[in-house]
Chains A and B, each alone.
Chain A
Amino acid sequence: MNSKSVIEALIGDKLIFFCFLLLASFGLMVQYSAGNHNLISLEGQILKLCLAILFYVLISNIQINEIRKISPILFGVSFFMLMLVPLIGVTINGSNRWLDLGILRFQPSEILKLSLPMFLAWYIDYKEFTLSRLDFLVLLLVMIAPAYLIYHQPDLGTSLMVLLSGFIVLFFVGVSWKKILLFLGIFLVSLPIIWRLLAPYQKNRVLTFLDPTSDPLGAGYNIIQSKIAIGSGGLFGKGWMNGSQVQLDFLPEQSTDFIFAVIGEEFGLFGMLFLITLFLFILIRGFSISWDAKGTYSRMLASTITLIFFFSVFINMGMVVGLLPVVGVPLPFISQGGTSMVTIMISLGILTSISRDKKLSEE
């Protein structure tokens, strides 16, 4: 291997890697501003960042065929760990989501976001795309079981994301529009039942979304403050480390779920659009890799990874600007926290591996 190909092997996909670096650096800057200008707390984040890059480089250099082969095992292991959470999990803030492996704590539910579509793609590929009704029932069961466990942690956001990742695969398999509409119909009809199953705080979030002013100091506080932060930033923002909403702690969860509002307040509309553009580059790259992908498994997985990435970004931003109810979903690469970043980088690593597979086959 010459040096050029070594670098290529390391960075994998240039566009994705470049955008990722820009986003992660931007994220560090914003976290510094939102987190009381504390460098020490950034150190941990930088460590996780390096870990994420390491995973990306490793995964992107594994042949997609190998990845495909271990997909069912990966799903099995992650599902097993998910089942362990209620038994030996760590409870933080009333939710039991974490497994403590001594050196690091992580959320098996985050891995399910990836391992579930991997398994589904593998299964469809294994069946050579001819799926019987029974197969569909199996697939639905495989989707619902982990989602149910995660919902009980409780973690509605991740549970919905896992379910969504499954439906995305089914969408790309080519489930007819008729069936999709049928599903939507069933979903709408069962809304009242779902409503009853929701915990009070979850009901509150939905109610707050419908009318934030109904409880301005309670449940509506977060969304009102984040709108104020974004709106008061105007076109160019109040400047880095100068946002009053951020610096005076009016903005809740400003290092994690609401970090997009920090960007809005301190960097303005253009800061937010810059961020969205970087995400769009990654997404467009994802779509193009999906378009060119070879084989059922690759196509399914590449397109699902791309759409999950889109939903992660959009649900977070939609929540912060008040388009969607508040669900605890972090903004990829920008929010503080390791597990979701590592998971996403692994998925982008797979995406890169798929794009290489295509290149290899062309040579």
Chain B
Amino acid sequence: MNDKNRYERLKNIWNEKQVFKSRLISSFLVVGFAFLLLSYRLIELTVYEYSELFVSSENNQIRIFPIDPSRGIIRDRNGIVLARNNPVWTLVITPELIQNHDEIFIWLEENINLSSDALADLNNQISQVSSFSEIQIKQLNEDETAVFAANRFKLPGLDLRERLQRHYPYGRETAHVIGYLGAISPSDHQRLNLSNYTNGARVGRYGLEYFFEDQLHGALGRQATIVNSRGRVIETLNSNQSLQDLSRDISRSLPSLEGEDLELTLDIDLQRLAYEHLENWRGSVVAMNPKTGEILVLASNPTFDANDFAKGLSQSQYEQLLNDQNRPLFNRSLLGAYPPGSTIKPFLALAALELEHINENSTFFCQGSYSLPNDDHVYRDWLESGHGSVSLNRSIAQSCDVYYYNLATEMGIESISTFLSQFGFGQNLDFGMGRTQAGILPSPSWKRSYFSAPQDQVWFPGETVITGIGQGYFSVTPIQLAVAVATLANRGNIVQPKIILNNNSLTEEDAELMPPSIPLRSGNLDIIFNAMNSVTHLPGGSAYSIFSNDLNGIVGKTGTAQVVSIGQEDEYDEDNIDENLRDHGLFFGIAPQEDPEIIVVAIIENSGGGARVAAPIVKSIIDAFHAKSSNEGIIFASNE
């Protein structure tokens, strides 16, 4: 029994050993297989997936920060800066650098004008953001910046950050031309490549800043940095440094590309002079080189200070500008449509000469009014007593209305509008500042396209009559009138207005060769120029009193545009009429008569007759132009 037990036990032990050893071998195989599997997985990761995972590890640690390019500088034709970038300073705080929290807050309270709410809010932010991130506190003015700079050493945690802000040294005088910057708006998504802008970047919203956004902006740079998993910047990479050759271009730093500078055709001295004259008036002054089309003055008053926009305008300030009855945001030079009034007369006279309806010696008799046959409507002359027998020269010099009532009727509306359209009336001008107001060159076809009701589309003979004195539907913008006058001064060579001064600008010979031109007979032009000379230099000329002492050979034409039509029996009595309903005064001047170098158009709203306010402004600008070009004058503006 014992033996049997003992045998059983031995057998058991032997069995147990056999089972154990077989199990040990299988587990050894399992272990071996497991490590083979593990090794295969490691090779898979480190060899086959290496490139992909390496890029992932770079993506993890590289963060790209955009660098704003500095916006192009805008200068006038003499290199005087009209728009530049000024550094402004923003106070920032970095929580982890703070050594004495209370001291900083006491200092902020005493030296920086912050409300207690703002301070509490700041305190809140400090406890919430990650300790290495910067919190912007406030943009400092110059005094505050100086105070901080002196105290900086005892205020660890506070620092200054520089930012560039657009500054316009002549903010009011250039606002309508250069415009201003504003925040990116939804409409910019189509116009601009927004990947080229940082968050919070400001883009051109108006004027040249808007139309030349692409050139002025430049190209965004980028700063590659190494960050940790919480986004703290550990290291900044310079432009030729990359983590490894395998890395992609995006991980390289790239300097920003500065915006291109713009040089304008404007002469800021003349521009400022124009604004001085316009100070108490609503209106526009445009001056141009008739040979090149370079715009020297483009003034529209009332105006606004573009620097207010650069600093950031509050909603109420903006609405105040927007709702101002005098419309300071409205660029009258490009968009204001005014009846040309008598300034159209030289063009009509030229048309009549060219089309041989009259010659230099033709006369009409003016008895102070005009009527069409079979019509009892009376068209008055501004001179109630009439001008008597009027020659072409005197019709321009004294601006006889009846002469042009006759002329217009004789020529007919079709030939008038066909001839005038060659000078750009009724058409859009595109010269890099967007679409301008086209104005209206009245004609039967214009009327048909403009009115929808058939009874409104009929052209009446009386409408031809008043077209002869630039009234009725006729309207022009100041820039349009300037281009027409420049074309006249250029003896029919059509002038393209220019606001950007090209580096490779066309020489004057090139400009003369430039097609297209209006075929005009030289003799006819001389007749018109002589007549315009009579306006300024012949006693009795409508602007003689202004130009009697003129030494610069200025010729020109006055104009008066009616704002309200006077009833058939009523008298126009300026003193008894509401200021807003008074006539607009117009004047254009060309100088010198032989080989003109400058033309100036002034349209002054509600200023009465053209000789009164508009003509002296034109004279003053032409005088200043000559003073400057003959080096007699003083340079008014300088680079600040």
Contact = CB atoms under 8 A, between A and B. Distances in A.
A and B assemble together: yes
B163 interface: no
Interface residues of A, number: 45
A27 B622 CA distance: 89
A318 B37 CA distance: 9
Interface stretch (A37-45, A107-115, A230-238): A230-238
Contacts of A174: 16, 19-20, 23
Given A129-B16, A171-B27, A249-B229, A264 B61 contact: no
Interface residues of B, number: 40
A174 B22 CA distance: 9
Interface of B: 9, 12-13, 16-17, 19-21, 23-24, 27-28, 31, 34-35, 37-39, 41-43, 45-47, 49-50, 52-54, 56-58, 60-61, 226-230, 234
Contacts of B50: 231-232, 234
A322 B37 CA distance: 12
Contact of A244 (B24, B45, B60): B60
A299 B61 contact: no
Nearest to B41: A321
A317 B28 CA distance: 18
A323 B37 contact: yes
**Ranked 7 nearest A-B pairs via Cβ:** A231-B53, A174-B19, A232-B57, A248-B228, A249-B229, A231-B45, A269-B46
B53 A235 contact: no
Given A171-B23, A248-B226, A249-B229, A264 B42 contact: yes
A269 B24 contact: no
Given A172-B24, A307-B27, A232 B54 contact: yes
Given A250-B60, A318-B38, A234 B46 contact: yes
Interface of A: 128-130, 171-172, 174, 225, 227-235, 244-245, 247-250, 264-265, 268-269, 272-273, 276, 280, 283, 287, 290-291, 296, 299, 303, 307, 310, 314, 317-318, 321-323
SS class, residues of chain A in contact with chain B: helix
Question: Which of A228, A269, A303 counts the most B-chain CB atoms under 10 A from its CB?
Answer: A228
Given A171-B23, A264-B46, A287-B24, A228 B56 contact: yes
Given A174-B20, A283-B31, A303-B20, A248 B42 contact: no
A296 B20 CA distance: 9
Nearest to A303: B24
B42 A272 contact: yes
Nearest to A230: B45
SS class, residues of chain B in contact with chain A: helix
Given A128-B9, A231-B46, 7 more contacts: A172-B23, A174-B20, A231-B50, A232-B54, A249-B229, A273-B39, A303-B20
B230 to A, nearest CB: 7
A233 B35 CA distance: 20
Contacts of B54: 231-232, 234
Question: Which of B12, B20, B39 counts the most A-chain CB atoms under 10 A from its CB?
Answer: B20
B24 A291 contact: yes
B488 to A, nearest CB: 72
A132 to B, nearest CB: 14
A321 B42 contact: yes
Given A227-B45, A234-B46, A244-B60, A303 B38 contact: no
Contacts of A248: 60-61, 226-229, 234
A63 B45 CA distance: 46
A245 B228 CA distance: 9
Contacts of A247: 228
A122 to B, nearest CB: 16
Contact of A280 (B17, B35, B52, B60): B35
Nearest to B60: A250
Contacts of B19: 174
Given A174-B19, A321-B41, A228 B47 contact: no
A339 to B, nearest CB: 25
Contacts of B17: 299
Contact of B46 (A235, A307, A318, A322): A235
A325 to B, nearest CB: 15
B60 A291 contact: no
Nearest to B13: A129
Contacts of A323: 37-38, 41
A314 B58 CA distance: 29
Contacts of B38: 276, 314, 317-318, 321, 323
Given A174-B16, A174-B20, A228 B53 contact: yes
A290 B31 CA distance: 15
Question: Which of B21, B38, B45 counts the most A-chain CB atoms under 10 A from its CB?
Answer: B45
Contacts of B13: 129
Contact of A249 (B16, B28, B228): B228
A232 B234 CA distance: 20
Contacts of A232: 50, 53-54, 56-57
Given A232-B53, A321-B38, A268 B46 contact: yes
A341 to B, nearest CB: 21
Contacts of B61: 244, 248, 250
B57 A245 contact: yes
A227 B53 contact: yes
Given A230-B42, A291-B24, A235 B229 contact: no
A25 B288 CA distance: 86
A225 B42 CA distance: 15
A277 B42 CA distance: 14
Contact of B57 (A172, A229, A249): A229
Contacts of A321: 38, 41-42, 45
A310 B57 contact: no
Contacts of A283: 31
B244 to A, nearest CB: 10
B458 to A, nearest CB: 74
Contacts of B58: 244
Contacts of A229: 57
B16 A296 contact: yes
Contact of A228 (B9, B42, B60, B227): B60
